[in-house]
Amino acid sequence: SQTIHQWPATLVQPVGSPLSLECTVEGTSNPNLYWYRQAAGRGLQLLFYSVGIGQISSEVPQNLSASRPQDRQFILSSKKLLLSDSGFYLCAWSVLGDTQYFGPGTRLTVL
Amino acid sequence: GENVEQHPSTLSVQEGDSAVIKCTYSDSASNYFPWYKQELGKRPQLIIDIRSNVGEKKDQRIAVTLNKTAKHFSLHITETQPEDSAVYFCAASLQGAQKLVFGQGTRLTINP
């Protein structure tokens, strides 16, 4: 069966510091991978998605970037965090853009 | 592009009553409509989905209906229980778009 992992689970970072969040999927090949951000009490904002290694589509221009160095690995990065980057970051996978399955999420607080 | 509107944003019902959440979509080419439930502090989880070749689908106390002509779909929860309290998100998939477009979410509260 398929499993999706995210780490870290929680993170507290100062403004201006770098960020690296990692997502890995097990049990499937060539999945679509997604990064979402959810502000407190808000909806799901799609940040990036990838249909293959090295292929990244950006949905919202912002302070973040994504990379997919391996088939089942998706990384979200920032060079300098802003206060507005705080939120719940969710990774998801799907096959052919159909049903998406979410990871456990990373709760990021920028101080 | 596709746009999904979800109503209401908050819904409060008495335990045992039914709850209905409605979503409308803009692109008639959309053909896949999932519903997710997100409990506080947890990840969204798929609870039911429907494809455009089906008008209704049921799974125990939950059901989803789709009206392609009107471009709207609804989630129905019967005999609500306290554990149904959560935020519910609808979504639509535009054929070939490789991504879902989500509604804004509905916070459902079941009052004992």
What is the per-residue pLDDT across A17-55, written as a single tens digit (0 to 9) for each? 999 999 999 999 999 999 999 998 889 999 999 999 999
More confident call, A15 vs B53: A15
Q: Whole-angstrom Cα distance, residue A61 to residue B28? A: 28
Chain segment B89-102, per-residue pLDDT in tens: 999 997 677 889 99
Nearest to A2 by CA among A72, A88, A90, A98: A72
Separation CA B32–CA A101 (nearest Å): 15
pLDDT for the residue B96:
73
Q: Do B99 and A102 touch (CB under 8 A)?
A: no
Nearest CA in chain A to B98: A97
Task: Please state, in angstroms and as integers, the Cα–Cα distance from residue B91 to each residue in A47, B4, B46, following that order.
Answer: 16, 7, 11
**Percentage of chain A modeled with pLDDT above 70:** 99
**Number of C-beta neighbours around residue A69 at 10 A:** 9
Residues of B in contact with A101 (CB under 8 A): 46
A102/B44 Cβ within 8 A: yes
Residues B110/B13, Cβ–Cβ less than 8 Å: yes
Sign of the Cα torsion B66, B4, B24, B87 reads: positive
